Structure formats: C-alpha cells, structure tokens
Amino acid sequence: MRNTMTNLWHSLEEGQISNLGGKRFMSKFFYEGDIDRVENGVSWTFNNHLLAIHRLKEDEDPLQIPLVTANFWVQVHDLPP
C-alpha cells in the first residue's frame, strides 16, 4: 500500500507513510497544498477498501481516532419533480 499511495500522491517520498498497525497508516505531508489535494481527491480506495482520511491534530493519538465516516459526492440525474 505504501508504494501505491506514494506513487498516487506524488509529493510523498518513500518512508513518509508509516504503518501504525491495526490496519492504520499515517502519512506525513510537508506542504499544506499536498494534503489539501489528497483530501479533495477522496473517496480513495485501495484494493476495493475505503481509505478513511483524517487530518490529525497535534494532541490526537492516531490509534484512538474513530475512522467511521467518509465524505461522498453524489450526482443524481432525472429525478421527477
């Protein structure tokens, strides 16, 4: 997964995605624009599994964040009036 995400996100170098265990990974971004680009590109999937993305705050423990929601953009056509 680390190699695939590094290639997709371009701004990340090898080793900037850490495996935290428990199916959690942490990505380190050096530029605000890079994380904005990744966040705006959601919903991301990897091997048909949803990647839940959360911008970690300074005092947050990445293993305690409940990754239970995801934003989706839905476009509906031809709804009856």
Q: What is the pLDDT of residues 42-62, one digit of tens each?
A: 657 778 888 888 889 999 999
What is the distance between the alpha carbons of residues 31 and 11, in angstroms, rounded to a whole number?
Answer: 9
Q: Which domain holds residue 3?
A: 1-81
C-alpha to C-alpha distance for 13 and 70, rounded to whole angstroms: 26
Please count the structural domains in the chain: 1
**Distance (Å, rounded) from C-alpha 36 to C-alpha 80?**
36
What is the pTM assigned to this prediction?
0.65
In the three-class reduction of DSSP (H, G, I as helix; E, B as strand; rest coil), residue 18 is classed as strand
pLDDT for residue 60:
94
- Cβ neighbour number for residue 10 with a 10 Å cutoff: 10
